[in-house]
Amino acid sequence: MAKKKTFSATKAVKANARERVGTPPPSRPLPTLKEKAEARPKHKETLADLLDKLRN
């Protein structure tokens, strides 16, 4: 015998929202500490370095 399904308000609301708006975009994994460190320079550029870039 098949198990009787109980009504879930949460599932009903989510199904209704998916029909109207569409499915949400897939989630993206959070960057690891190592990836964060690689994305950002360790030290800020000095004023001399910035002025040197402008001259060249």
5 within a domain of the structure (yes/no): no
Does the global pTM surpass 0.85? no
Sequential DSSP letters for 1-56 = -PPPPPP-HHHHHHHHHHHHH-PPPPP-PPPPHHHHHHHS-SSPPPHHHHHHHHH-
40 within a domain of the structure (yes/no): yes
Position 56 confidence tier, pLDDT thresholds 50, 70, 90: confident
14 within a domain of the structure (yes/no): no
> What are the distances in angstroms from CA 2 to CA 5, 6, 9, 11, 49?
9, 12, 21, 20, 73
4 within a domain of the structure (yes/no): no
49 within a domain of the structure (yes/no): yes
6 within a domain of the structure (yes/no): no
Copy the structure tokens of residue 9.
């308000």
Q: What is the pLDDT of residue 31?
A: 84
37 within a domain of the structure (yes/no): yes
Q: Which residue has the tokens 């994305």?
A: 39
Q: Residue 48: which domain range? A: 31-56
- What's the structural domain count of the chain? 1
